[in-house]
Amino acid sequence: MKISFLLTTGDSKAGTEYAIQSQIRSLAPHGHQISVYSVYRTDGSLQAKLDGLADVTYWIDEDGLDLTGNFDSSASQNLNALPAMLVRREWDDQFNRLSELVLREELSRVEADVVVSTTPALAMYGSLFLSAEIVLVAQEHRASMQRGKGIEPLQAVAHDLDAIVSLNKENQEWIDDNFAGAGFVSEIIPNSLDEVFRPQSDLESKTIVAAGRFAPGKQFNRLINAFAIFHEDHPDWRLSLYGSGPQEENLRELVGTHNLQDAVTFTTGLSDLTMEWQDASIHAMTSRAEGQPLVILESAAAGVPTVAFDCPIGPRNIISHGVDGLIVPLNNDQLFAESLAKLADDSELRKELGANAVTTAAQYTPDIVVGRWIQLYTELLERREGSESRSDTNRRFLKMVDASEKQAANNEEAARDTKGSSRPQTYKVPIVEPSDMSVSRVQSRNFSDAVELLDNAKIAYVELPAYGYYRRSVAIRGEDRAQLLLTLAQDAPAAMCVKTLRGNSVISSSDWHPGLEQLPAVQAESADVFRLFTPESDQLRRFTWGSAFGVDIEIWDHDEERNGWVPPRHNPGLDLLTEDDFQADSELFDAPLWDDIDFPIDVVYTWVDDTDSTWRAKKNAHSPVRKDSEDLASGDMRFRNRDELKYSVRSVRTFMPWVRNIFVVTDEQNPSWLSEESDIRVISHSEIFPDTNVLPVFNSHAIESCLHRIPGLAEHFLYFNDDTMLLRMQTPKNYFHANGTAKFFLSPVKVDRRPQHEVEPHMWAAQNNRRILQERFGKTITRGMLHTPHPHLKSTLQKIELEYSEIMAAVRGAKFRSESDISLLSSFAQYFGYFTGAYEPGSVRYAYCSLGNEALKHRLGNLVQTDRFDMITFGEGENEKFSESEIDEMLEQFFRARFPYPSVDEA
């Protein structure tokens, strides 16, 4: 029997592809001739995985190049940019005009007894283009009732299918109810589990494993949220995530938000988990829908029980709750965390469920399942009567395609007339000198370019309240849309880019470059927002200022009933414009909007250079006789300078262009790299300590308690440690509300409840904070703050200074960390402000990197390019693997790679 499988991307590491590979391995020993056709090729890995068991053919390269020879590279590129005609985007967004035409040509050449499709879209293409005598079987690897509009292609061609195969009875019943009378055979055949050696887990490792594509449907975000709850009471357990996909960056950010970097690991390059399950004790699955998840069977075969959401329809058809795993109500993160805890806390239950899971997996061996496939295919061949429906539909579709190709040729001819050549040109981002790269300049240039185009075209416009801090918006009337497109095509600056949107949704991942190409018709017709920007980058491509700083030109359509123009999307300010609003001198508002932040914000650093011999002499003269705790309070590690301040300032200059003043508070020192022309103000301790007789001090808590006394300091300021660096653009709203309240960022780390003499010095102040605040407000604080920039209000700090004058005097008088300290700026003021209505909890995406981590080099390598986090903080720690000089070298490499260009402050 000749059996062919049709896949969208055969190299994918998703469940459907694994299921097909398993079927092929089961069928091949029975003498069948097997072929696999993959519409797209990524890394070509499918060929190696099947190891000669099937002929694998790819039709289109991942870059959009036709591999079949039907279209040359130029035609491939043009067709790849056009939407599919048959399969609508809301059905399946993986297809375009190129793939559709290639499918037409290649499917018509397929010679097989049975062709197996694996998605509704592929079933439709098979119905249209396969020879009528071929048996066409549609395998449903997902929950059909959860596909939404994606099931419509299957429904449209159900009458032309020989069989639809479901993984379980629930799915079969739904198919039968919704496709009644179509005449196909409805069958249930589960996926099988390959017979390979599978090491058994002893279930002693404190590791939870989850695997799958990092995509919305798998809901790994819910797993991370549940694990964060679980981890609070199980800090020694770890979560290992295996997979890849579009949400990887977001998931890593979420791990950072929960401060779980040391408890959650990502492995993205491993396609076979057979050997990994022996190190797992629990398998977790939080999908919102599944077909028949093979990953549950894989874990079960290794004796690892599963905790899974009760999603439609897969887990409940494999797992028996309380027998071989646990089923949790769908999307209940709290109960999921409690179920993880139930297995983690009860090793006997874990082992009982694991043993039963092995028995469950044994029901899905290939020998049992493959016989059902062979029987089905044999019966379908016998009953096949040769319907002509495919040929008839194919001819109709070909006429439609031919008409479309003729129109495309006309468009190409028009492009030659207007641009002089039909040959695609490559757009290159303009490169500028690092010293010329300025966010404010890019913003200003983009806006002036946009309004100059509108002015020259005599298009009336009005500026709207901005959607984002760095992007501006203007409105034009709907009747001026055609003129705008003509002006962009003819007069746009050569380097300008345009991003087309429908409301807030980007229509195409590719930007339009008016100086090089025509705007595709589908974008010209459907876009109602045009984002104009000219990107800039440095030679190293470390920073690129792109569409985030562009100007949105919105098309407002006229509403006759309201006698005005209405917006294409929600905006912060208004939903109707009148004729008067489009006058040149009109102003929509006579004051800032209620949530605009228009107050100044300063940055304050505390800094010390421990290599300064004068400072070291002072410190040594006052250092106490060291005990273990005092060493942590006054030892060299606490004062180590690795030149972080220079790079932290670079990050502020780059990613916080709205900061008014930068202050550096220090003990009669001056950064060696600081230029005389810099406007950074270096503040000595003697300028801010009310009693200078206590100086010198080497206690960061004492210094913090005086920062609000800096002359000229703004009411709103950010307290930075020099070991904290920003990694991406920040806005004032990340740190303050427009009503003036400050935000604070809670850490999952708890305030230690042990007696003070039993804890390390960094906990002394936290315990004092808790005691004092509980006495004042009758509330117990339990959590510290993340080591991020700390937003503060000078007035709140002044209020604390008045109310706790004796405590403040004691803190300021302690030369090194002492048992009487409070941590004013890194915890106490935040909670005091919260209780008095001046501070509120907020959130940031934060990465922490311990210099004591033996995997430091790998960690820095992962962080050097990422922009997933708002900031990174480096924590000192003794490292048994690397010497101090090696750590210095690694950090220097990281700093230079991440922040390669001197700021205006450097000599």
Q: Give me the mean pLDDT over the 732-750 stretch.
A: 94
| Largest Cα span, the chain | 102
In this structure, are 648 and 571 located in the same domain? no
Structural contact between residues 290 and 213, judged by C-beta atoms closer than 8 angstroms: no
Q: What is the mean pLDDT of the chain?
A: 88
Q: What is the pLDDT of residues 791-836, one digit of tens each?
A: 999 999 999 999 999 999 999 999 999 899 999 999 999 999 999 9
Domain finish residue from 364, 384, 408: 364
> pLDDT value at position 244?
87
In this structure, are 243 and 169 located in the same domain? no
Query: Strand 497-502 vs strand 505-506: parallel, antiparallel, or unpaired?
Result: antiparallel
> pLDDT value at position 521?
79
Residue 892: pLDDT above 70?
A: yes
Task: Report the distance separating Cα 763 and Cα 746, nearest Å.
Answer: 16
In this structure, are 700 and 608 located in the same domain? yes
Element (H, E) at 8: strand 2-9
Structural contact between residues 438 and 564, judged by C-beta atoms closer than 8 angstroms: no
Domain hosting residue 458, numbered range: 434-582
Residue 203: pLDDT above 70?
A: yes
> pLDDT value at position 389?
44
Q: What is the pLDDT of residues 574-594, one digit of tens each?
A: 999 999 999 988 889 989 999
- Percent of the chain residues past pLDDT 90, beyond the cut: 56
Classify burial at 409, counting beta carbons within 10 Å of its beta carbon; exposed 0-12, middle 13-18, buried 19 or more. exposed
Q: Give me the mean pLDDT over the 449-467 stretch.
A: 94
pLDDT band of residue 258 (cuts 50, 70, 90) is very high
Classify burial at 731, counting beta carbons within 10 Å of its beta carbon; exposed 0-12, middle 13-18, buried 19 or more. middle
Task: Report the distance separating Cα 708 and Cα 358, nearest Å.
Answer: 64
CB neighbours of residue 611 within 10 Å: 12
> pLDDT value at position 400?
45
Question: Is residue 851 in a domain?
Answer: no
pLDDT band of residue 396 (cuts 50, 70, 90) is very low
Residue that has been written with the tokens 């000198």 in this structure: 433
pLDDT band of residue 629 (cuts 50, 70, 90) is very low
Q: What is the pLDDT of residues 149-173, one digit of tens each?
A: 889 889 888 888 899 999 888 788 8
Structural contact between residues 287 and 218, judged by C-beta atoms closer than 8 angstroms: yes
User: Which range among 215-229, 279-293, 311-325, 424-438 has the greatest average pLDDT?
Assistant: 215-229
Question: Is residue 853 in a domain?
Answer: no
Q: What is the pLDDT of residues 53-99, one digit of tens each?
A: 999 999 999 888 999 988 888 888 889 889 888 888 889 999 999 99
Kindly list the distances between the CA atom of residue 338 and the CA atoms of 236, 332, 465, in Å, as whole numbers in the listed order: 16, 10, 46
Residue 647: pLDDT above 90?
A: yes
Question: Is residue 395 in a domain?
Answer: no
Q: What is the pLDDT of residues 668-701, one digit of tens each?
A: 999 999 999 999 999 999 999 999 999 999 999 9
Amino acid at 355: A
Q: What is the pLDDT of residues 332-386, one digit of tens each?
A: 999 999 999 999 999 999 999 999 999 888 878 777 788 888 889 888 888 765 4
Task: Report the distance separating Cα 785 and Cα 769, nearest Å.
Answer: 12
Question: Is residue 903 in a domain?
Answer: no
Residue 416: pLDDT above 50?
A: no
Task: Report the distance separating Cα 291 and Cα 190, nearest Å.
Answer: 9
Residue 851, SS3 per DSSP:
coil
> pLDDT value at position 804?
97
> pLDDT value at position 116?
95
CB neighbours of residue 631 within 10 Å: 15
Structural contact between residues 225 and 198, judged by C-beta atoms closer than 8 angstroms: no
Question: Is residue 420 in a domain?
Answer: no
**Contacts of range 569-573, beta carbons closer than 8 Å, 24 or more positions apart:** 569/503, 569/504, 569/528, 569/529, 571/464, 571/465, 571/467, 571/473, 572/465, 572/466, 572/467, 573/464, 573/465
Q: What is the pLDDT of residues 212-232, one digit of tens each?
A: 989 998 999 999 999 999 999
Structural contact between residues 547 and 531, judged by C-beta atoms closer than 8 angstroms: yes
In this structure, are 101 and 239 located in the same domain? no
Residue 743, SS3 per DSSP:
strand
Task: Report the distance separating Cα 175 and Cα 187, nearest Å.
Answer: 10
Domain count, the chain: 4
Lowest mean per-residue pLDDT among 25-29, 30-34, 754-758: 754-758
> pLDDT value at position 626?
54
> pLDDT value at position 388?
44
Q: Which residues contact 328 (CB under 8 A, 6 or more apart)?
A: 307, 308, 309, 310, 335, 336, 339
> pLDDT value at position 760?
75
Return the higher-pLDDT residue of 684 and 748. 684
Structural contact between residues 211 and 227, judged by C-beta atoms closer than 8 angstroms: no
Element (H, E) at 239: strand 238-242
In this structure, are 96 and 229 located in the same domain? no
Amino acid at 515: G
Question: Is residue 405 in a domain?
Answer: no
- How far, in whole angstroms, is CA 860 from its chain's centroid? 19
Residue 636: pLDDT above 90?
A: no
Structural contact between residues 537 and 431, judged by C-beta atoms closer than 8 angstroms: yes
Quote the pTM value. 0.58
Q: What is the pLDDT of residues 705-731, one digit of tens each?
A: 999 999 999 999 999 999 999 999 999
Residue 311: pLDDT above 90?
A: no
CB neighbours of residue 844 within 10 Å: 17
Residue that has been written with the tokens 């309004």 in this structure: 451
Structural contact between residues 516 and 499, judged by C-beta atoms closer than 8 angstroms: no
Residue 578, domain CATH:
3.30.460
- Helices 220-233 and 248-257, axial angle in degrees (round to 10): 20
Structural contact between residues 852 and 842, judged by C-beta atoms closer than 8 angstroms: no
In this structure, are 558 and 485 located in the same domain? yes
Task: Report the distance separating Cα 210 and Cα 226, nearest Å.
Answer: 13
In this structure, are 239 and 360 located in the same domain? yes
> pLDDT value at position 90?
86
Q: Which residues contact 157 (CB under 8 A, 6 or more apart)?
A: 123, 124, 127, 128
What is the 8-class DSSP label of residue 96?
B
Percent helix, strand and coil across the chain, each to the nearest 5 = 40, 20, 40
Amino acid at 541: R
CB neighbours of residue 840 within 10 Å: 15
In this structure, are 152 and 216 located in the same domain? no
Q: What number of residues does the chain have?
A: 907
In three-state form (DSSP H/G/I as H, E/B as E, the rest C), the secondary structure along 795-845 is HHHHHHHHHCHHHHHHHHHCCCCCCCCCCHHHHHHHHHHHHCCCEEECCCC
Question: Around 81, how many Cα atoms within 13 Å sit in the side-chain half-sphere?
Answer: 17
Domain finish residue from 341, 364, 387: 364
> pLDDT value at position 572?
87
Tokens of 41: 């090729």
Helices (H), 64-96: 73-80
Query: Strand 163-166 vs strand 135-139: parallel, antiparallel, or unpaired?
Result: parallel
Return the higher-pLDDT residue of 467 and 26. 26
Tokens of 161: 């299918």
Residue 618, domain CATH:
3.90.550
Question: Is residue 416 in a domain?
Answer: no
Residue 424: pLDDT above 60?
A: no
Residue 17, domain CATH:
3.40.50.2000
Lowest mean per-residue pLDDT among 115-129, 340-354, 430-444, 712-726: 430-444
In this structure, are 613 and 754 located in the same domain? yes
- Percent of the chain residues past pLDDT 70, beyond the cut: 93
Strand order in the sheet with 207-211: 264-267, 238-242, 207-211, 282-285, 306-309, 325-328
Domain finish residue from 364, 387, 405: 364
Amino acid at 328: V
Task: Report the distance separating Cα 166 and Cα 172, nearest Å.
Answer: 5
In this structure, are 808 and 675 located in the same domain? yes
In this structure, are 577 and 608 located in the same domain? no
Return the higher-pLDDT residue of 342 and 628. 342
Strand partners, 606: 665, 721
Question: Is residue 728 in a domain?
Answer: yes
In this structure, are 274 and 157 located in the same domain? no
Lowest mean per-residue pLDDT among 39-43, 446-450, 538-542: 538-542
Strand partners, 81: none
> pLDDT value at position 859?
82
pLDDT band of residue 741 (cuts 50, 70, 90) is very high
Tokens of 823: 């941590």
Residue that has been written with the tokens 């914000």 in this structure: 601
